[in-house]
Amino acid sequence: MAAGRSRAVFAVFGVLSVCAVSGSGPVAEGETGGEAEWTEPWDGAVFRPPSALGAVGVARSPGTPRPGREEAVDLPVLLWWSPGLFPHFPGDSERIECARGACVASRDRRVRGHSRTRALLFYGTDFRASEAPLPRLAHQSWALLHEESPLNNFVLSHGPGIRLFNLTATFSRHSDYPLPLQWLPGTAYLRRAAPPLQERAEWRRRGYAPLLYLQSHCDVPADRDRYVRELMRFIPVDSYGKCLQNRELPTPRLQDTATATTEDPELLAFLSRYKFHLALENAICDDYMTEKLWRPMHLGAVPVYRGSPSVRDWMPNNHSIILIDDFESPQKLAEFIDFLDKNDEEYMKYLAYKQPGGITNQFLLDSLKHREWGVNDPLLPNYLNGFECFVCDHELARLEAEKAHAASPGDIPGPEPHIAQPSHMDCPVPTPGFGSVEEIPENDSWKEMWLQDYWQGLDQGEALTAMIHNNETKQMKFWDYLHEIFMKRNQNL
């Protein structure tokens, strides 16, 4: 299973979903901004281990009988070109009821050229330029679901790549169906009580460091290990994953890398011993925030964070996170962490959001309240079904506009195409976690892998765009053309 698939398939797919998106989610906060009574609305296992997609619920109202073939004969068809994410089992097609009306969702590629097939839905991690369904048909929209970072597919981080699509659901707030809080179930998740400081002090006396690092995916685009290695020169860091490992997790089950991405109770109990967690994303993109950020806050640890440049916009208050980029050097950061570690009163200011009234960021509260999808919320669709209905509603509106134009072409213009923009991913060129590119040896694995992949992603986007719009290029073998571009690019680096 692809690296990104294990992150797309988590607990939000484990509940029965209703795809009629017509209202906002449950109100966790009072209408005037005050905080209402709250309880944890889940069973504690918020993000379960990756599981078969057969557990995905059907996107129709509970109790609604499956319509017969004759009832769906004129409905627009949405074709999942990434069939592994098709959220309707066991069949190949399913009628879905959405806000503007009904569509048929299908994973049967035989309908690709049909006039009723109005949209193709792609999962970004699975999208390969060499396998794109060409020629692209003029009446079809391309819709992209990609909640992952560019680590999984660099082609989408470039203008030529993202502009291949009409509709998007990404981590960016600027995408058409935004998913920036995909790892945050709600405010109650943040308010979970932190362990007493006395308990953490006892663990320190047993030889634990103040700072935790848990990563087993090394040499990522954000180059986080290079920064952590330098930080370790100035402050003790307990590193348990494969990257910079200097300690072992206490049991073989916790040492399984699959466990590290879950809400396993034993793992959470162990991680909660630490007052500070190094929370470094695998790539730097606006609004890209994962469990690396939210899980420490859930546990009552202070995230020492590098990732989304816009992360402050989403924090529960203005004093709940330590941003690595606020410090001129790893040494200065280490000095500040050491200061907080020795001053309980100053440290506890970073956990004030766990107290009644402590979540003061209205933007965060409003975003959670009004998002049309939920995480383990039986009253809302998961974002997979939600995006499917978003595309259905868009295609129904486009059909209406086309019919209105056909009925009165002189008075009503035809609908303009909606094109995705680079801001829907907004991930810059990978940069070193510490130091400069010039200081890194040419045979360094990060430099060899991620900078090359970034530029190759641009080449793929350019090549595919050329194949769509240039008749002569269409006659060329795609990979021969891509190889030619990539070789020229390497000569100019």
Over residues 193-213, the pLDDT tens digits come to: 999 999 999 999 999 999 999
CB contact set of 369 (below 8 Å; sequence gap of 6+): 24, 25, 27, 28, 29
CATH class given for the domain over 187-367: alpha beta
Pairing of strands 276-280, 77-80: unpaired
User: How high is the pLDDT of residue 131?
Assistant: 84
Q: Tell me, what's the pLDDT at 32?
A: 35
How large is the angle between the packed helices 452-469 and 478-492, nearest 10 degrees? 130
Say if CB 36 and CB 29 are below 8 A apart: yes
pLDDT score of 154 more than 80: yes
Instruction: Tell me the pLDDT tens digit for each residue of 261-288.
Output: 778 899 999 999 999 999 999 999 999 9
Query: What are the start and end residues of each CATH 3.40.50.11660 domain in the chain?
Result: 187-367
Residues in Cβ contact with 410 at an 8 Å cutoff, skipping those fewer than 6 apart: none
Sign of the dihedral through C-alpha 368, 374, 379, 380 = positive
Structural element, H or E, at residue 306: strand 302-306
Please indicate whether residue 132 or residue 392 has the higher confidence score (pLDDT): 392
What pLDDT is recorded for position 475?
Answer: 37
Q: How far is residue 367 from each of residues 182, 232, 347, 424, measured CA to CA in Å? A: 11, 37, 28, 17
Residue 56: phi and psi, rounded to 5, are: -65, 140
Contacts (Cβ under 8 Å, ≥6 apart) of 423: 172, 174
Q: Write down the mean pLDDT value for the chain.
A: 82
Residue 347 predicted with pLDDT over 70 = yes
Quote the CA–CA distance of 38 and 208 in Å, as a whole number: 34
Give the number of residues written for the chain. Answer: 493
Residue at token pair 């089950």:
253
What pTM, to 2 d.p., does this model score? Answer: 0.80
Residue 239 phi/psi, 5-degree rounding, is -115, 120
Q: What percent of the chain has pLDDT over 90?
A: 58
381, 59 in Cβ contact below 8 A? yes
